[in-house]
Amino acid sequence: MIIKQLSVFLENKTGRLTEMTKILSENNINISAFSIADTADFGIVRCIVSKPDEAIKALKEKHFSVNITDVVCMIVPHEPGGLYKALQILSDNNVPVEYMYAFAFDNAASVVIRSESNEEVIRVLEANQMKLVKASDIYQI
């Protein structure tokens, strides 16, 4: 259930993000989920892609600073209260969340969660019958 997320350090410079996505495109790598955390002078792109190992190799060749971060992805209903219920389970069980981002389509929404204790997230959510996305599935989205 652990999913490999790419984390890319980017300076705040025009064209840098374009260049990064161009490399992914040229290597025929699809992006399934994407978010940016930004500060005044740099940002970190977090994304889930179809071929994480190939992506990291291609980006490193072009001197991008890339790391792999383990995350978990769960499915919640795309309706009022969907996310709330899921998060209530985590906080009831004292599972800390570092960051998260979500994307919705049709009747469901996917929420990517990063926690210091990913295993705990998986255990707690599964115990509460929440639906998690398998790595093999999300790389195909």
Q: Which of 28, 63, 80, 129 binds other proteins (CB under 8 A)?
A: 63
**Helices and strands, counts by H and E, the chain:** 5, 7
Scanning 35-43, 81-89, 101-109, 126-134 for contacts with other proteins by CB under 8 A, the matching segment is 35-43
Q: Which amino acid is at 95?
A: V
Scanning 62-70, 76-84, 104-112, 117-125 for contacts with other proteins by CB under 8 A, the matching segment is 62-70
Shortest Cβ distance from residue 43 to other proteins (Å)? 9
Residues 1, 32: contact at Cβ < 8 Å? no
Residues 117, 96: contact at Cβ < 8 Å? yes
What DSSP character marks residue 94? T
Contacts with other proteins by CB under 8 A lie at 5, 7, 9-11, 37, 39, 41-42, 44, 46, 60, 63-67, 69, 98-99, 114
